[in-house]
Amino acid sequence: MIPASRSHPWHAWVESWFLSYAFLGASVAGLAPILLPLSVAKSGSVVDIGLVVAAFNLGGLSAPTWGELADRRGLHRSLLISGLLATSIALAVFPFASSLTARLVLALAQGSGAASAATVANLFIVEVHPRPEWDERIGWLQTFYGAGQVLGLLLAGVVGGADLKLGFLIASGMTFAACIPAMYLKGKIRKAHIPRPVLAYPSHHSGFSAGSPQSFYHRFNLKALKHLIRSFASPLGIFLFAWLMSFAGAAAFFSMYPILMKQVYGVEPSLSSIGFAIAAAVGLFLYAPAGAWSQQYGPMRVLRVAFVVRVVAFLVLLIVGLVRIEAAGSIALISFVLIVVAWSLMSVTGTEIIAQSSEANEGEGLGLFNASTAIAGVIGAVIGGWSAGIWGYQIVSVLGIVGVSGALFLTSIVNILGKNEAQKVKE
């Protein structure tokens, strides 16, 4: 029998409303990571930058509320459109806000609106289409979102350094435009699955965790948290903490990215945005090979290689920033590209490791996995801004090194524990 994914052309899995998530990816994963720090830096401190980015990511943690509302009230289409409208309005108003409080509220509204829209993305697939079609449809949804991110970063390269207000208006307009394809949603929503089925699919984009359709599908609850605390010394608990460290360390760098590249390495936002776009585009083509390498060499080995790449890249960024060599800008851009590209390996293998480590309850493990990613984004942004405010921008690269190195060390412990458990099973 021919698998469902092989028996139909690619366009059989794509629906017109996927364009909504391409536009959302362009605004909140492409334009926002560049425009928010640049806008705050004009009249605020480096600490303010970290707080605003953290508020944006914090809005993503409202996702369970929107998911519950969609399930209980059947407000899927309404939540999608209202979330897009809220994000669009908050983006349009943000460049005119002068106080930190107003910026924090607007950033929180942007993240919450994006979370509301993104939460229902997988619901439209899982609760409308049969299970054999889920992976293919979700894969294309992620591809549209990732492609939107690349487009948004390219646009940020054109307008980010010249006219920030225009950039925010473009981001707002693209988010508003996402409402149009959202109106063409088709299919009858079935009764919500409780608990929701496992969707072990990696996020095909890098940067902000807020707005990711895949990350917001699973419910996070106190029962899962208590289970994690009880099994903290298990491979699953240690791996989740390692993942949080690695993501938080990198999030500190991402939250400051356009400002840091300009202040430390002399790379203008227009060029750093295009560099980010190229890296994200290359990363899109690495997800399939990453899956093949994971099957061939094992997900943990591939993940640790990705960690090593990030540690080396952050170390090069630190050294180049301290030494101040003539080619600092070019070396910094290449190093950052490696950091972004490594995410493709991390996303695929991290999801697979969690699924394998929590076979008894994969949904619970994946829910904690996604929650730790969102929380790490908030922690990294806050610590990054606070640290840079005290010790300068160079400390952000140090945070990246510490976070990813700590994760590399902890995954070695996971390896040892896993081998010991396997040996006990054999005996």
Least confident range of 187-201, 229-243, 303-317: 187-201
Confidence of residue 1 (pLDDT cuts 50, 70, 90): very low
Least confident range of 149-163, 266-280, 292-306: 149-163
335 pLDDT more than 90: yes
* CA–CA separation, 423 and 420 (whole Å): 5
Under 8 Å between Cβ of 374 and 367: no
Rounded to 10 degrees, the C-alpha dihedral 167/105/117/131 comes to 120
Under 8 Å between Cβ of 56 and 251: no
- Burial (CB < 10 A; 0-12, 13-18, 19+), residue 131, is exposed
Under 8 Å between Cβ of 20 and 83: no
Q: CB count, 10 Å around CB of 217?
A: 27
Under 8 Å between Cβ of 85 and 176: yes
Mean pLDDT of the 318-331 span: 90
Amino acid present at 233: A
- Global confidence as pTM: 0.88
118 pLDDT more than 60: yes
Distance of CA 199 to the CA centre of its chain: 16
List the Cα angle 145/148/150 in 5-degree steps: 115
73 pLDDT more than 60: yes
Query: What domains can be seen in the chain, in order of their start residue?
Result: 11-426 (1.20.1250.20)
Among 182, 218, 210, 149, which residue's Cα sits nearest to residue 82?
182
Amino acid present at 157: G
Interacting residues of 402 by C-beta distance below 8 A, sequence separation 6+: 249
